[in-house]
Amino acid sequence: MWTVDLVSLHLSLRRRLARLRRSDGGFPMSLDGPSEVEATVVAALALNDAVATRWVRSRQRIDGGFDELDRRPASPASASLASLALSGGPSRSALDFVLAQRQRLLPGATAPDDHLGWGWASNPADARAFVEPTARALTAVKALAPENASARSEAVRVLTRLQCADGGWNYGTASVNAVDLRGYAQTTAMALIGLQGERTALGASGLRFLRRSFPVEPGGLTTAQSLLAFRLHGDRDSARAAADALEAIARRRSFLDRPVAVAWAVLATGSDGLIEPLRWRP
């Protein structure tokens, strides 16, 4: 299926990621940073790694959320991915925390169509629902609590409302002053990972947008997440094109020095078994 040697690419990226690990077992957001929850969670998924998972568990609070080493609360969006990387009680606790974090699209909004979704910030007074946090939460709910239909449908409604006119998603604003804004490949890939298996037009229009947009947004994170989205949607031709692009990007220092992007690339190039935790099996 692949035109690149995906296994070699995966192993090469895996070696690179392993070299970025900190002495405490976690992974940093940048070369000169300490271990952080977001980076370590993605690395734990990508490496299927017990040491990284233990580090994530060590940062979990009693409410299921996570704190950084400097006592900053980690984003609830990181907790969504943590729920997939952890297992047992810590995983359920992380998901419960995520489910308690649903926020309205606008602060203080009370209109019936102001759906609940998920945001980046942990303080409800400061947070609004945005695309990627909502998509991450949707992915976690589908994998771990598929019976929670209300959370699933709410997340899908939020993503429906935030979809751009071009079929993609940006951070979460489809238009400003009646001017349509563009979707981004990276955010669209994350939305599609959340939307896999939904019987709506959203996924089809999103995939069309992603096929034409990822080649012109040449970042490692974007390309890795696009590859993953195509694989999870069974779009082999597009996945092949994304893998080709990722192989070229994987030679760039500006990509290799980004632990989170490299971790997503390890995950995206991994075996079917490795990406299974993110797969929706209705």
Partner 1 sequence: MASVTVTRRQLVVRSGAVAVWAGVGGVALAKRLGAFDDPPPFDRRVFPEPGRSAVAVMRAESYEMDLEGLLVDSLRLVEADVRRRSVVLKPNFVEFLPGSSINTDPRMVVAAANALRRLGASSVVVAEGPGHRRDTEAVAVASGLQETLDDAGLRFVDLNEAPVVRTPLASRYMGLGELWVPRVLREADVVVSMPKLKTHHWVGVTLSLKNCFGCMPGRVYGWPKDVLHVRGIPNSIVDIFGAVRPSLAIIDGIVGMQGDGPIMGDPVAAGVLIVSRDGVAADVTGARMMGMDPEKVGYLMEAGRFLGQARSELIEQRGEDPARFTRRFAPAPGFEKLVA
Residues 12-71 that bind partner 1 (CB under 8 A): 29-30, 32-34, 36, 38, 70
Q: Which of residues 180-219 bind partner 1 (CB under 8 A)?
A: 181-182, 184-187, 216-219
Task: Using the minimum distance from each CB to partner 1, give the nearer residue, 110 or 123.
Answer: 123
User: Which one among 42, 105, 261, 263 touches partner 1, defined by CB under 8 A?
Assistant: 261
- State the minimum distance, in angstroms, from the CB of residue 199 to partner 1: 28
49/59 Cα distance (integer angstroms): 16
**Member of 127, 138, 156, 229 binding partner 1 (CB under 8 A):** 127
Q: Is 152 or 258 the residue whose CB approaches partner 1 more closely?
A: 258
Angle separating helix axes 259-268 and 220-232, nearest 10 degrees: 20
What distance in Å separates the CA atoms of residue 96 and residue 108, rounded to the nearest whole number?
A: 23
Binding mask 96-115 for partner 1 (x = CB under 8 A): -----------x--------
Q: Identify residue 167 by its one-letter amino acid code.
A: G
Q: Residue from 132, 154, 166, 198 that binds partner 1 (CB under 8 A)? A: 132
Task: Count residues binding partner 1 (CB under 8 A).
Answer: 45
Shorter beta-carbon distance to partner 1: residue 89 or 107: 107
Helix (H) or strand (E) holding 175: strand 175-176
The beta-strand segments (E) located in 111-165 are 116-117
In the list 6, 162, 192, 221, the residue contacting partner 1 (rule: CB under 8 A) is 221
Least distance in angstroms from the C-beta of 85 to partner 1: 17
Q: Are strands 103-104 and 179-180 parallel, antiparallel or unpaired?
A: unpaired
CB atoms within 10 A of CB 137: 31
CA distance 282 to 278: 12
Q: Is 135 in the site for partner 1 (CB under 8 A)?
A: no
Select the residue interacting with partner 1 from 173, 208, 236, 271 (CB under 8 A).
Answer: 173
Q: Which residues pair with 67 in a beta bridge?
A: 73
Distance from C-alpha of 200 to C-alpha of 151, rounded to nearest angstrom: 17
The residues in 136-165 that bind partner 1, with binding defined as CB under 8 A, are: none
Strand 179-180 to strand 175-176: parallel, antiparallel, or no bridges (unpaired)?
antiparallel
Q: Is 108 left (phi over 0), alpha (psi -120 to 50) or beta?
A: left
Note whether 255 binds partner 1 by CB under 8 A: yes
**Six-digit token string for 123:** 């303080």
First and final C-alpha spacing in the chain? 26
Rule CB under 8 A: say whether 260 interacts with partner 1: yes
- Applying CB under 8 A, among 22, 58, 161, 171 the residue interacting with partner 1 is 171
State the residues that interact with partner 1 by CB under 8 A. Answer: 29-30, 32-34, 36, 38, 70, 72, 75, 107, 119-121, 123, 125-128, 130, 132, 170-171, 173, 176-177, 179, 181-182, 184-187, 216-222, 254-255, 258, 260-261
